[in-house]
Amino acid sequence: MSEHMQLKVDISGANREAAASVLSKFFREQFGTEPARPDPQQGSDQTRSGDAMQQWITLVLSIPVALLATIDIVERTKLKERVQRLVEQIRQAVQGDGSVVLQVEERPALDVVYASPAEVVEALRPPEETPDGGAR
């Protein structure tokens, strides 16, 4: 199992800067680290959508799996409350115009704008180990 879990968040819409600010603050407060923001000149902040260019902001974060694995039941309840506030703040920031897509490792992508707090918390859980030491 890898020592770090990789998170990638793609943010689109007119208010993408506000949503990126909300997410960066959450990651700083929750995990003590600032997400990286790849250089837009390398094409990571834009994607082609038909004939129009869709503007994106990409945030990338690497979280130690050990940090996530030590979250106990009480901390998980607090995390769910923080995620509830995060989801509400993101919905206010994008104002119905855009998406905030969370990609954790190889798991299915999750649009935080439409997700429940429980789905976001579940996405942030570290992979479980199998008895042979591999990840499920």
pLDDT per residue as tens digits for the range 66-94: 666 666 666 777 888 889 999 999 999 99
Q: Is 132 a member of any domain?
A: no
Rounded average pLDDT over 1-15: 85
Flag whether 24 is in a domain: yes
- Does any domain span residue 59? yes
- Find the CATH number of the domain harbouring 49: 3.30.70
pLDDT computed for residue 1 by the predictor: 54
C-alpha span between 90 and 85 (Å, rounded): 9
41-73 per-position pLDDT tens digit: 554 444 444 434 458 889 898 887 766 666 666
In a domain, 53, yes or no: yes
Position 94 in a domain: yes
Asked whether residue 11 is assigned to any structural domain, the reply reads yes
Q: Give the mean pLDDT of the chain.
A: 79
Residue 22 forms part of a structural domain: yes
Residue 87 is predicted with a pLDDT of 93
Identify whether 60 is part of a domain. yes
Tally of domains within the chain: 1
Question: What are the E-state strand segments in the chain?
Answer: 4-12, 46-49, 52-64, 99-104, 110-111
Could you tell me the residue range of the domain that residue 43 belongs to?
4-123
Other beta carbons within 10 angstroms of residue 39's beta carbon come to: 9
> So what's the pLDDT on residue 119?
92
